């Protein structure tokens, strides 16, 4: 028995274990919209695309909704004339129209009542 214990001690070699590499993902920028919990998805999307055009995938990631939900929402906004769809690019990009901007102004004025 003593021989086995001594034998194990002498044959053990220490093994160097490398730590796994950590990859940090870039955060998705979300615009600062006051009292976001009271804003409907439609109003939120209009705020999102006020400053820059976005694809439906960008909108989907930012709103944390399904692809289907985002597609239906963007179709509704497009058909109501609040956004315009750029079909020259794939995937399509959406930008706000003048009608959409006036809707955002109405929403902003309603939420800033003190």
Which residue ranges form the domains of the chain, and what is each CATH number? Answer: 35-106 (1.10.10.10)
How is residue 102 written in tokens?
């006036």
Q: What is the number of other CB atoms lying within 10 angstroms of the CB of residue 65?
A: 17
Distance CA 41, CA 26 (A): 24
Does pTM top 0.75 for this prediction? no
Distance CA 101, CA 25 (A): 33
What is the model's pLDDT at position 68? Answer: 94
Angle 69-71-72 from CA coordinates, rounded to 5°: 65
Mean pLDDT of 47-59: 91
Tokens 């597609």 belong to which residue? 71
The model's pLDDT over 72-81, given as tens digits with 9 standing for 90+, comes to 999 999 999 9
Low-confidence winner among 13-17, 21-25, 48-52, 82-86 (lowest mean pLDDT): 13-17
State the pLDDT confidence band at 23, using cuts at 50, 70 and 90: confident
What is the model's pLDDT at position 66? Answer: 93
């Amino acid at each position: 028995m003593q021989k086995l214990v001594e034998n194990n001690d002498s044959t053990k070699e220490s093994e160097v274990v490398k730590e796994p590499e950590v990859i940090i993902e870039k955060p998705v920028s979300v615009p600062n919209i006051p009292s976001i919990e009271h804003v409907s998805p439609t109003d939120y999307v209009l705020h999102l695309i006020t400053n820059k055009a976005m694809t439906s995938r960008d909108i989907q990631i930012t709103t944390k909704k399904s692809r289907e939900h985002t597609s239906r929402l963007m179709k509704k906004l497009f058909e109501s004339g609040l956004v315009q769809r750029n079909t020259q690019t794939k995937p399509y990009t959406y930008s706000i129209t003048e009608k959409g901007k006036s809707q955002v102004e109405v929403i902003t004025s309603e939420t800033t009542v003190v």
